[in-house]
Amino acid sequence: MRLCSSLLSQNLKSRLVVRPSTTIHASDPFSNFIVTRDTEPLSLDNLQRGDSVNRAVVFSFKNTALSKVTDLQKKQDMKWDPVKYVAGRLRGIISPIQAYISISKRFSSHSLVYDSRFFQLHYFPEDHFISCFRKSKPSITVKSTKKFYLNGKVLNQNHQYYNESRILKTDEAELTKIQTTMARLASKHRNNIPSEFAYLRRDLKLKVKTPFIEEWCRLNGDKAIRERDRSESRNAVESKAKKSLLDKFGRSTVGTAKDGYYLYIVRIFPDVDTLDEFNKEINKSVQKVADLNWDKFLIPKKGPKGKTWVEAFNDSINVNTINRILKISKFPFELRREQSRDQ
């Protein structure tokens, strides 16, 4: 009996899940705050423009004010961009968890999957602690570093822009000297670092999210999530009519975009000269995640045996601390550690 129970316990693994709070009750379900199993993925398929224009036309009659509103809505409808519309619905993670991660600086080096002169991309699979609190499928946060004066467009001694090559520590020291000198010459200007301006940060988010969601959908990320939802709700022996986007464990296959949390940390803001290159880098980063082999990506060369780096990170989380943070922030759910069968 002892041997049997020992073997049984070895087949169980701990996982983090979010459940309705037992202490805070809200009229709105917590699916209004974070994703659940039933949350639909963002998709570019079968998008239709809103019928607000048609409703306005019906009620406009001869009312001049309503007619002007209708004309404005018609112009906005003509400019309607489905990709930007879906990009605008991309969300990150809830603010208290974002603050907890930023303050505690709890990052795993294994999450860094793409590094270019423009940005770094950290990817967290959907069973990662951070991804438990994402607000859309997929989830994305765009951050910027207060790094380079004039967006790095300063010529070095070789008459090249610093942001056209890997910036070394010596380059950073030189840029700091240049920044100090230029600040004296341009003392009337408040700041010359793009990340200091809110309107540029807002513009940056859209410039990241738009090519991101277009490439993510092109690589069938939305279709893979829907296929998994269908497979979980139907009989396992039911045959599949077409090639699956999932492996035998229900995970997206190599080459298929993946659900989870994407964190972009931008160094160089795209401008008129570099926007095309920036968009290509975003596409490459999404492709990089899609091409990840789950077993190779999750199992580190150094670390606890028998655990993925995601499981090791989740095991390090103090559930009680997180639940206190959620309770203080009045969120109607709590984090729990539950046992699940090893696949």
Q: Are residues 96 and 228 in the same domain?
A: yes
- Report yes or no on 64 lying in a domain: yes
Mean pLDDT of all residues in the chain? Answer: 78
DSSP 29-82: -GGGTS--TTPPPP--TT----THHHHHHHHHTT-HHHHHHHHHHHHHHHT--H
pLDDT for residue 8 = 39
Q: Are residues 173 and 64 in the same domain?
A: no
Q: State the amino acid at position 238 in one-letter form.
A: E
Contact 291, 254 (CB under 8 A): yes
Answer whether the bond into residue 96 is a cis peptide, omega within 30°. no
Domain count, the chain: 3
Q: Are residues 85 and 230 in the same domain?
A: yes
Q: Are residues 273 and 159 in the same domain?
A: no
> Does the pLDDT of residue 51 top 80, yes or no?
no
219 CB neighbour count, 10 Å cutoff: 22
Q: Are residues 53 and 140 in the same domain?
A: no
- Report yes or no on 36 lying in a domain: no
Strand order in the sheet with 261-266: 112-115, 119-124, 261-266, 139-144
151 Ramachandran zone, left/alpha/beta (phi>0; psi -120 to 50): left
Q: What CA–CA distances, in Å, run from 221 to 3, 87, 144, 242, 254?
A: 43, 14, 26, 16, 11
> Does the pLDDT of residue 216 top 60, yes or no?
yes
Most confident of 27-36, 74-83, 245-254, 300-309: 245-254
- Report yes or no on 190 lying in a domain: no
Alpha-carbon gap, residue 263 to 124, rounded angstroms: 8
Domain with 293, as residue range(s), is 81-146+198-235+243-316
Q: Are residues 115 and 228 in the same domain?
A: yes
Q: Are residues 203 and 288 in the same domain?
A: yes
Q: Are residues 72 and 160 in the same domain?
A: no
- Report yes or no on 33 lying in a domain: no
Q: Are residues 129 and 103 in the same domain?
A: yes
- Report yes or no on 221 lying in a domain: yes
Most confident of 3-17, 58-72, 157-171, 210-224: 210-224
Q: Are residues 162 and 308 in the same domain?
A: no
Q: Are residues 260 and 137 in the same domain?
A: yes
Residue closest to 147 by CA, chosen among 171, 182, 123: 171
Q: Are residues 227 and 289 in the same domain?
A: yes
Mapping DSSP to helix (H, G, I), strand (E, B) and coil, where does residue 303 land?
coil
Rg of the chain's alpha carbons, rounded to an integer?
24
> Does the pLDDT of residue 41 top 90, yes or no?
yes
